[in-house]
Amino acid sequence: MTSSRFVLEYADNVVVRSQEEALASGQVYDYCLLTTKCLPDIAPNHKLLAPALASKQIKSYALIQNGLDIEKDLYAALQENGQVEDVPIVTAAAWIGLMTSPDGKRIIWAGPRVCPR
């Protein structure tokens, strides 16, 4: 991947299908980036990241999700694992100003309006 706008050169050397596959080699990762819709009552972060948490091969977690307090269950899981002092969690709230109409047929922009000049 290259960019004419940014000084960026990146080539992935491994593509895996699951956390288990990524962790199987025993490689320690600097961070785990989670960018999903946060659904704490259906799929809490600590369950989504269970293989990574159990492996203790992740040095930090970065969460980019909707909502507040999205890190609480992950923090509790790290505390349970005895890792809470060693593994930082970085969070960023993601808010998308789109929603579907009640019938699901239209997407409605609910964010700031951009006015033409």
3-state secondary structure of 73: helix
On the question of pLDDT at 117 being above 80, the answer is no
Provide the pLDDT for residue 74: 95
Domain boundaries, the chain: 19-109
C-alpha torsion sign, points 13, 19, 24, 29: positive
| Tokens matching residue 38 | 């946060």
Residue 86 and residue 78 in contact, taking contact as beta carbons nearer than 8 Å = no
Tell me 112's DSSP state. Answer: P
The predicted structure's pLDDT at residue 39: 86
Of the pLDDT bands very low, low, confident and very high (cuts 50, 70, 90), residue 114 is low
Q: What is the pLDDT of residue 110?
A: 63
pLDDT of residue 116: 54
Task: Name the pLDDT band for 94 (thresholds 50, 70, 90).
Answer: confident
Indicate the residue type of 115: C
